[in-house]
Amino acid sequence: MNRQAPLSRLPHQTPVQYIKGVGPARADRLKRLGVETAEDLLWLAPRRYEDRSRFAAIREAQPGSKVTIQGRVLSSELRRLPNGRTLLEAVVGDDTGVLRCLWFNQPYLARQIREGEQLIVYGEVEGRTSRQMVHPEVEHVEREPAPDDPAHLHVGRIVPIYPLTEGIGQRWLRRVANTALECAAGGVPELLPEELRRRLELARADWALSQLHFPDSWETLERARARLSFDELFLMQVRLALRRARFAQRTKPQRYQLEGELAASFRRQLPFALTASQEQVLREILDDVSRPTPMLRLLQGDVGCGKTVVAAMAMLVAIQSGFQAALMAPTELLAAQHARVLRAALEPLGVSVGLLAAGTEEDRPELLRRIADGSTALVVGTHALLEPSVTFARLAFVVIDEQHKFGVTQRAALVRKAVAPDVLVMTATPIPRTLALSLYGDLTCSTITELPLGRRPVRTVRLPEAKRDEAYTLIRAALQEGRQGYIVYPLVEAKAGSGLKAAAQMVRQLQHDVFPGVAVELIHGQMPSAAQERVMRNFSQGSTRLLVSTVVIEVGLDVPNATVMLIEHAERFGLSQLHQLRGRISRGSHPATCLVLSEASDELSRQRLSAFVDTTDGFQLAERDLVLRGPGELLGRDQHGWWRFRVADLARDAGVLEQARREAFALVARDPVLRDPALAALRAKLGMKPA
């Protein structure tokens, strides 16, 4: 064998510019595809594949099907349409017939699609008598292939179609991917110990990477994808398992009195009995905190199921044992509400409750002093709690509400304020299990599975703009019965000409023309927090009847008398966000109605909104959202970027994820510091020093 050493052992972290044919300018462009190193290029997953072992014949192409056709441009003409748009029309012919290809408003394509060119076009076939495609994807067949361009990369096989960016073409990318694969051949490190790989019957990494780009068949592609998704998910789960192991290794100084006067009195004065599910979850928490190692637990449960009261009971156990507890919420409004409710219940019992948020009117130095000396036992706050000036005397129990609005680093920052606190993380965003395992995979999980007795599902109705008055009539009726309501807009203010209605611009009209005589107030996130809090207090006390708002009210707010909500431009909200919004009106025993106005007619909006109308089950909606929009959109936090996988797909690879998780946690349980020499590659990948 005559392998050139430097080529065949291309180190994985080699900047991509040193791969033959790339160079600095193209390397810059590849960055936009997330490709910086040779390894990134090897892992650049095609966005789809085309089977070009045989091209479709134009005459046989079925209307409605997506096909790939190779042919010559017989004519090409750019026209300006009466409405100012442009139309490029090219006629492409093969041995069997002709195909009309149309592109609207992409005049620059005229320079590329010229008479005589050989093209490969891909798209959906339309038309019964004559065939046509609108906006097909195009690849030019070069008249003179590059000298080292094995033609078999582009035709005669299953061909990768990559995501592209300006200045990067399919053919070029196929060539450099091929070069990178050749260079890396035999040098791709195996992340998985051989024993594991064989037991799970996973393919080898180097084979899988080459099949990812140039699969021999659809079956081998599937096998390759399975292996590579496993790698990504396994790596993530090993990280989580290590984090959990580090956390659980610590012994905590706090010991609790589970039975005590404080928790008992709090429970006695609740106006309701806990549901069986709340009791169950509380038991799980108390069992967990009785252990010598700190608790790290996720409390899940759909909006309105009553997580706060469970957290309060648990915090009181810590407080009656002489410790401090902290509750962190993502918005000032929610923190203020928690403080208000907890104060009302706890101050009569002699527990001092402090509120720490950027806009609080409290005497801050005094509050900080009381937190530092331990005289404030329960501290509620926003991320203001994380500031270095906040120190606790005896913090032992930490609750993070609406955790999905925070990042892992913020959770860690609060945890560092104590020696080894017990941590309870809460989320009302029902997320699919695959996402939960990714985001919260280091946590044990408790779920509240039922809503308090007497809750009725919210009736949800989608109305067209023409029936806007009907929506107003329904709201008026609810207000007349003594209920309260929300009207929610996606924006505070909309640009002129955008055609959007926005909260701050609509409130006056709503007050004067639509709901005269009703106490209407406006709330949005750009108002000073003291003003927000005042508006919210008025609403929760009932002096304000109708709240015109933005998504600031999305999480956590609890005004049981509010039973009607109108959501404007509903297509602009995510499905989970809509569900959270609707959760604001499903908190009491009166029947509630959620009205949805949307003019959107595109397929995705239509599907999302009809899912929203059809089901009130948050978990089902979240699963739908995951499929429809992908995980990034679902949670929408940059901090969670680490689960933007290259090959794995959380909506599709749930089974792989479960398996990867089992293996990762078993591995870390056996070998908590990954000492086994078979794990050297894994250690390196995790950035750990060699064992």
3-state secondary structure of 564: strand
Binding characters for ligand ADP, 26-45, by CB under 6 A (x = yes): --------------------
| By CB under 6 A, residue 578 contacts ligand ADP | no
Distance of closest approach, residue 140 Cβ to ligand ADP, in angstroms: 56
Stretch near Mg ion under the rule CB under 5 A, chosen from 20-28, 148-156, 375-383, 554-562: 554-562
CA distance 638 to 1: 47
The residue among 297, 317, 314, 310 whose CA lies nearest residue 256 is 317
Distance of closest approach, residue 554 Cβ to Mg ion, in angstroms: 11
Choose the contact partner of 560 out of ligand ADP, Mg ion, none; CB within 5 to 8 A by kind.
ligand ADP
3-state secondary structure of 485: strand
- Considering beta carbons, is residue 399 or 564 the nearer one to ligand ADP? 399
Distance of closest approach, residue 400 Cβ to Mg ion, in angstroms: 11
CA distance 15 to 124: 38
Among 170, 220, 275, 446, binds ligand ADP (CB under 6 A): 275
Task: Give the CA distances from residue 156 to residues 49, 150, 175, 646, in Å, rounded to whole numbers and listed in that order.
Answer: 13, 11, 15, 26
Stretch near ligand ADP under the rule CB under 6 A, chosen from 34-42, 413-421, 434-442, 556-564: 556-564
| By CB under 6 A, residue 306 contacts ligand ADP | yes
- Considering beta carbons, is residue 339 or 657 the nearer one to Mg ion? 339
Among 558, 571, 625, 653, binds ligand ADP (CB under 6 A): 558
Distance of closest approach, residue 296 Cβ to ligand ADP, in angstroms: 20
- Considering beta carbons, is residue 272 or 642 the nearer one to ligand ADP? 272
Task: Give me 475's structure tokens.
Answer: 């709201």
Stretch near ligand ADP under the rule CB under 6 A, chosen from 218-226, 256-264, 274-282, 480-488: 274-282
- Considering beta carbons, is residue 113 or 335 the nearer one to ligand ADP? 335
- Considering beta carbons, is residue 330 or 556 the nearer one to Mg ion? 556
Residue nearest Mg ion, CB atom distance:
556
How far is C-alpha 651 from the geometric centre of its chain's CA atoms?
A: 12
Choose the contact partner of 309 out of ligand ADP, Mg ion, none; CB within 5 to 8 A by kind.
ligand ADP
Pairing mode of beta strands 98-104, 86-93? antiparallel
- Considering beta carbons, is residue 421 or 556 the nearer one to Mg ion? 556
Stretch near ligand ADP under the rule CB under 6 A, chosen from 56-64, 68-76, 94-102, 269-277: 269-277
Stretch near ligand ADP under the rule CB under 6 A, chosen from 28-36, 301-309, 388-396, 484-492: 301-309
The residue among 524, 504, 465, 500 whose CA lies nearest residue 572 is 500
| By CB under 6 A, residue 309 contacts ligand ADP | yes
**SS percent in the chain: helix, strand, coil, step 5:** 45, 20, 40
The CB-based long-range contact list for 278-283 (8 Å cut-off, 24+ gap) reads 278/305, 278/306, 278/309, 278/310, 278/448, 281/310, 281/446, 281/447, 281/448, 282/310, 282/313, 282/314
- Considering beta carbons, is residue 181 or 425 the nearer one to ligand ADP? 425
Binding characters for Mg ion, 194-213, by CB under 5 A (x = yes): --------------------
CA distance 351 to 587: 27
Phi-psi region of 557 (alpha: psi -120 to 50; beta: other; left: phi over 0): beta
| By CB under 6 A, residue 303 contacts ligand ADP | yes
| By CB under 6 A, residue 136 contacts ligand ADP | no
**The dihedral sign for the CA sequence 8, 238, 644, 124:** positive
**Torsion, Cα of 198, 203, 207, 210 (10° steps):** -160
Stretch near ligand ADP under the rule CB under 6 A, chosen from 91-99, 386-394, 406-414, 552-560: 552-560
Q: What backbone phi and psi angles, to 5 degrees, belong to 428?
A: -100, -10
Among 44, 305, 581, 621, binds ligand ADP (CB under 6 A): 305
Could you please report the per-residue DSSP string of 403-454?
A: GGGS-HHHHHHHHTTSSS-EEEEEE-S---HHHHHHHSTTSEEEEE--PPTT
| By CB under 6 A, residue 308 contacts ligand ADP | yes
Among 46, 304, 421, 631, binds ligand ADP (CB under 6 A): 304
Question: CB within 8 A of 497, min separation 6: which ones?
Answer: none
- Considering beta carbons, is residue 306 or 381 the nearer one to ligand ADP? 306
Among 306, 452, 556, 588, binds Mg ion (CB under 5 A): 556
Tokens 């017990």 belong to residue? 422
Binding characters for ligand ADP, 448-487, by CB under 6 A (x = yes): ----x-----------------------------------
Distance of closest approach, residue 228 Cβ to ligand ADP, in angstroms: 38
Question: Site size for ligand ADP, by CB under 6 A?
Answer: 18
Among 131, 154, 174, 307, binds ligand ADP (CB under 6 A): 307
Choose the contact partner of 441 out of ligand ADP, Mg ion, none; CB within 5 to 8 A by kind.
none
User: DSSP H helical segments within 250-303, as ranges?
Assistant: 261-268, 276-289
Pairing mode of beta strands 593-597, 137-140? unpaired
Distance of closest approach, residue 549 Cβ to ligand ADP, in angstroms: 18
Within 10 Å of residue 23's Cβ, how many Cβ atoms?
12
The residue among 682, 567, 670 whose CA lies nearest residue 245 is 670
Among 123, 160, 215, 301, binds ligand ADP (CB under 6 A): 301
CA distance 411 to 394: 18
Stretch near ligand ADP under the rule CB under 6 A, chosen from 143-151, 241-249, 555-563, 677-685: 555-563
How far is C-alpha 332 from the geometric centre of its chain's CA atoms?
A: 23
Task: Give me 639's structure tokens.
Answer: 């901090």
| By CB under 6 A, residue 180 contacts ligand ADP | no
Buried residues in 586-620 as b, exposed as e (16+ CB within 10 A): bbbebebbbbbbbeeeeeeeeebbebbbeebebbb
Q: Which amino acid is at 276?
A: A
| By CB under 6 A, residue 428 contacts ligand ADP | yes
- Considering beta carbons, is residue 208 or 555 the nearer one to ligand ADP? 555
Query: In 592-668, which ranges are E strands?
Result: 593-597
CA distance 621 to 342: 31
Binding footprint of Mg ion on the chain (CB under 5 A): 556
Binding footprint of ligand ADP on the chain (CB under 6 A): 272, 274-275, 278, 301, 303-309, 428, 452, 556, 558, 560, 587
